[in-house]
Structure 1
Amino acid sequence: MQQLAGGQFFGETTKTLLLNGLTVTDTVYTHDKVDWHYHEHAYFTFILQGCVKEINKTETLTCTPGSLLFHNWQEPHYNLKAPVYTRGFHIEIEDRWMKQFLENTTLEGNRCISDPSVKLLFHKMFCESAMSDKESAIGIESLLLQAFSHLYLTSNNTGAHKPKWVNVIREILHDGYNDNISLTTLAGETGIHPAHLCRDFSKYFGCNISAYIRMLKVQRSFALLPLKKYSLANISYECGFADQSHFIKCFKMYTGLRPLAYRKLLH
């Protein structure tokens, strides 16, 4: 089985940034199939465009724009790419960086990360890398530490004693959220009092309910913004925003960019 060295991916890497124990790469995937392999370092993959399937020992993951994966260095996997332009943003993490900056990390194996707060942090890391100025390094490092901190804090609240309603709420919001979702509906689906739901939601999700829903909507737009056939009005409607103005406002709030600026950055 092939081991890939730091900064090496199957495809055409268009940009590489070597930071203090981090390797940041932007890669266009050119192989329809990549056989079983593993990487020298642990790393995150944030899909920017296209579609790729990742198959590991336990599951098959279909990754579209906005998908975020973590791979530990020793974990084997293989990939199947859809016949479309597909591009990924990677941050590889050397062991020395982990030891220097992290006291604790619960990330092991291959893991798909669904938390929109963390995904938006990786979106910001991509934007920082595109700037390629002297502030990019500290920007990426600080955002990565924020991501690890958020993952660590939420993982501490999602162990064996996690209430059953947490997964129910997550499934509702990720799979069926819309403009008509209400506190009464969520409370009814979980069988808990609305006040209790509001009080404990941020403990398990890292923010309040309205912010979480907005982040999910912004996250959904990542899959559509690379496609020029979709206007901002189309995207606003598809992602459940009240109108284009509301979409632009929320997108900038959570990413730091206007949607058209991000589309320009991609192309």
Structure 2
Amino acid sequence: MKQLKTGQFFGATNSHLEWKGLTITDTEYTHEKVDWHYHEKPYFTFIIQGKVLEGNRKEIYECTAGSLLFHNWDDAHYNKKPPGFTRGFHIEIAQHWLEQFDLSLDSLQGSIAVKNPDVKLLFYKLFYESKIHDNASHLATDTLLVDVLENIKGQNKTVYSARPDWIKPLQEILHEDTLQSLSLSQLSGLLGIHPVHISRYFPKYFGCSLGNYIRKLKVKKSLALLPDKYKSLTDIALDSGFSDQSHFIRCFKENMGITPLAFRKRMHF
């Protein structure tokens, strides 16, 4: 089984950055199939455009734009890419980078598909910082990645601790389609849970209000659509579930700190 060295991925690497223990690559996937392999260091794969299927010894992930996977260094996996353009953003992490922040990845074994929209929005910000690449980008990248790891570790603790049975189906309903305009009473009916109970306990398990969580999912969906240069911002706003472009721009800026147009300009090679 092949071990890939730091910075090595199957495809055409469009950019490669070395930042004090972090190796950051932006790669176009060109291989239809990649046999079993593993990587020298733990790393994240974030799909910016297109689709790829990734399998390990436990499960298979069907990754589309906005999908985020974490792999520990010894995790073996394979890939299959359907026809079409696919682009991945990777961050490989050296041990000495973790040690300077007193971080450990011991609780993150194997492969993890990250679903949390907060973490995915942080990763879009990491991608943006790699494209700015100015004298503040190193500090911003360190800060964002520490936040990513702490969020994932905290989420894992929540997953394995006792949670109400209605949390998982609620998450599935919300993630299934951001275009749904479900009311609190409709969610209550679908889950068989009193609406007051949902409102009271949602922030405890999701880290924000129900309304803000839905807005984050819509922004995340819009980010997956932004690379399509044939789509206008109005089209993206409507396809992401926003009522109009102005609402989309306002919500996007609140979550990402910049306008969707400014972010879109940085996404292209």
Q: Which has the higher mean CA deviation after the structures are superposed, 57-66 or 94-103?
A: 94-103
Aligned to 2:136: 135
Aligned residues: 267
Structure 1 unaligned residues grouped into runs of 5+: none
Matched, 1:228 2:222: no
Q: Tell which deviates more after alignment, 159-168 or 36-45.
A: 159-168
The share of aligned pairs that are identical, in percent, is 51
> Hey, what's the Cα distance between the residues in 2 that align with 1:100 and 1:195?
44
Report Cα offsets for 1:159-190 as digits up to 9, x if no partner: 24111111011011001443521111222222
Q: Distance in 2 between matches of 1:73 and 1:104?
A: 13
In the other structure, the counterpart of 2:81 is: 81
How far apart are residue 191 of structure 1 and its match? 2.6
In the TM superposition, residue 111 of structure 1 has moved relative to its aligned partner by: 1.2
Query: Could you say which residue in structure 1 is the equivalent of 2:127?
Result: 126
Is the 8 Å Cα contact of residues 252 and 260 (structure 2) preserved in structure 1? yes
Q: Alignment partner of 1:248: what SS?
A: helix
Distance 1:156 1:72 in 2: 18
Amino acid at match of 1:9: F
**Alignment-derived partner of residue 262 in structure 1:** 263
CA contact (8 A) 1:52 1:82 kept: yes
Q: Is the 8 A contact 1:47 1:64 kept in 2?
A: yes
Preserved contact between residue 44 and residue 91 of structure 2 (Cα < 8 Å): yes
1:196 is displaced (CA, Å) by: 2.3
Higher mean Cα deviation, 114-123 or 60-69?
60-69
Checking the alignment, whether the CA contact within 8 Å between 1:54 and 1:79 is kept in structure 2 is: yes
Distance 2:90 2:3 in 1: 16
Identify the residue that residue 56 of structure 2 maps to in structure 1.
56
Matched with 1:96 is: 96
Secondary structure in structure 2 of the residue aligned to 1:222: helix
Aligned to 2:254: 253
Match of 2:143, SS state, is helix
**Take 1:160 and 1:128, find their aligned partners in 2: how far apart are those partners?**
34
Aligned to 1:182: 183
Structure-1 residue corresponding to 2:155? 154
Residue 195 of structure 1: aligned partner: 196
Between stretches 243-252 and 35-44, larger displacement belongs to 243-252
Q: Is the contact made by 2:178 and 2:240 (CA closer than 8 Å) also made in structure 1?
A: no
Residue 82 of structure 1 aligns to which amino acid in structure 2? P
What's the secondary structure of 1:237's corresponding residue? helix
How many Å separate the matches in 2 of 1:252 and 1:18?
29
On the 8 A contact 2:128/2:267 being kept in 1, the answer is no
Give the TM-score, by structure 1 length. Answer: 0.94
Aligned counterparts of 1:238 and 1:230: Cα–Cα separation in 2: 10
Return the offset for 1:194: 2.2
What CA RMSD, in Å, does the superposition of the two structures yield over aligned residues? 1.6
Q: Tell me the distance in 2 between the aligned counterparts of 1:167 and 1:125.
A: 28
- Could you list the runs of 5+ residues in structure 2 that have no partner in the other structure? none
Q: What is the one-letter code of the residue matched to 1:53?
A: L
Distance in 2 between residues matched to 1:36 and 1:104, nearest whole Å: 26
TM-score normalized with structure 2 length: 0.93
Q: Which moved more, 1:176-185 or 1:20-29?
A: 176-185
**Paired AA for residue 265 in structure 1:** R
CA contact (8 A) 1:154 1:206 kept: no
